[in-house]
Amino acid sequence: MNAIDAGYRHIDCAWRYGNERDVGEAVEQKISEGVISRGDMFITTKLWCNFHEKNKVVPLLKDSLKNLKMNYVDLFLIHWPFGFKEEAPSWPKNKGKSAYSDVDITDTWQGMEKAYDLGLARNIGVSNFNKSQIEKLLLVSRTRPVCNQVEVNPNFNNKRLIAYCKSFDIVVVGYCPLGRIESFGRPGVPKPTMLDPKIMKMAKKYNKTSAQVVLNYLVNNLGVAVIPKSITKSRIIENFNIFDFQLEQKDIDYIESTNKNARVCLASYFGDHKDYPFHDEF
Ligand SMILES: NC(=O)C1=CN([C@@H]2O[C@H](COP(=O)(O)OP(=O)(O)OC[C@H]3O[C@@H](n4cnc5c(N)ncnc54)[C@H](OP(=O)(O)O)[C@@H]3O)[C@@H](O)[C@H]2O)C=CC1
Ligand SMILES: O=C1CO[C@H](CO)[C@@H](O)[C@@H]1O
């Protein structure tokens, strides 16, 4: 509700997050208050890994729509390229290969196309797909993926994948745009750039916060859509107010120099899955 009041119109959901009911209720409430109409909103949700078989895609989306109390979503994504067996846990981190399914991503894509044909998803796309996985889909798809939602932040600027996606008019939506501050301290996770003292000092010059500087850089300089998450009303408002300033070139150069090619979101438990996406360079 705070996000809608602040002006957000794109809400990122996933069956796996369990946030569809709350988002559906907030949208319904704001429609009843006359603040928005359904057509103003852009609602994304995602197919979880236990439902990659072609004939499971539409039923899973129908379940998401029931949760959302909507009759369509604006964008439906395959959450990860790797699949799990339906009966496996939804995050089978200690189960090993016995939990994995070997459904081909092109079969799952046919299920996504069916969801599109039925009008249940107005657009279809992917998340966490690497270049060769997108290539594989482009070769067989009737309806092309419009979006790849992947990690993008100054520590992991993902430039080569962004350029590849753009060359096929695939919109990149950047997740963990602020570097998911709560993961800082875990092995291999670098300090989020918004905590860099130089960025904090730079932000003061623009009368902005370091989070706003980072989000402005991602949108204006990397050309991606961003989906910062916050449960804090003041930060929700802060993260929306990023369009009214222009970074100087020397500041852009500094932010670029902080790239470390280091991800926050690795899903490394599944590194031995045949479709794990992050062994390739991009
Ligand atoms: N497709 C995929 O596989 C994935 C998708 N996602 C999507 O991306 C979204 C964002 O990613 P997420 O992992 O949450 O990481 P973010 O980079 O958005 O970081 C979120 C963290 O930053 C804090 N924060 C937010 N705004 C500010 C601010 N202005 N100043 C200081 N701290 C701030 C939040 O705190 P607080 O909430 O306490 O205010 C929270 O701890 C997710 O909600 C999800 O929708 C994420 C990971 C994987
Ligand atoms: O979307 C997501 C949110 O975070 C999870 C835990 O890191 C991810 O695995 C998932 O893809």
What ipTM did this prediction achieve?
Answer: 0.98
Domain boundaries, the chain: 2-279
Question: CB of 125 within 8 A of CB of 149?
Answer: yes
Type of residue numbered 234: S
CA–centroid distance for 19 within its chain: 14
Q: Which of 217, 220, 189 is nearest to 203 (CA)?
A: 217
Q: Which CATH class is domain 2-279?
A: alpha beta
Assessment of whether the complete model's pTM goes beyond 0.95: yes
Type of residue numbered 90: S
**Residue positions annotated with a catalytic role:** 17
Q: What is the pLDDT of residues 5-26, one digit of tens each?
A: 999 999 999 999 999 999 999 9
Its sign, for the CA torsion 90, 10, 109, 116, is positive
State how far the Cα of 282 lies from the Cα of 278, in Å rounded to an integer.
7
- Distance from residue 265's CA to the centre of ligand 2 (Å): 7
The CB-based long-range contact list for 166-169 (8 Å cut-off, 24+ gap) reads: 166/223, 168/134, 168/138, 168/144
**Residue identifier of the C-alpha nearest atom 5 of ligand 2:** 265
- Distance from residue 246's CA to the centre of ligand 1 (Å): 23
Whether 187 has a pLDDT exceeding 90, the answer reads: no
Q: Taking phi first (over 0 means left), then psi (-120 to 50 degrees means alpha), and beta for anything else, what does residue 72 get?
A: beta
Pocket test residue of 13, 15, 16 for ligand 2, highest count of atoms within 8 A of CB:
16
Ligand 2 residue neighbourhood (C-beta within 6 Å)? 14, 79, 265, 267
Q: What is the pLDDT of residues 224-278, one digit of tens each?
A: 999 999 999 999 999 999 999 999 999 999 999 999 999 999 999 999 999 999 9
Structure tokens at 178: 């602020």
Pocket test residue of 229, 266, 276 for ligand 1, highest count of atoms within 8 A of CB:
229
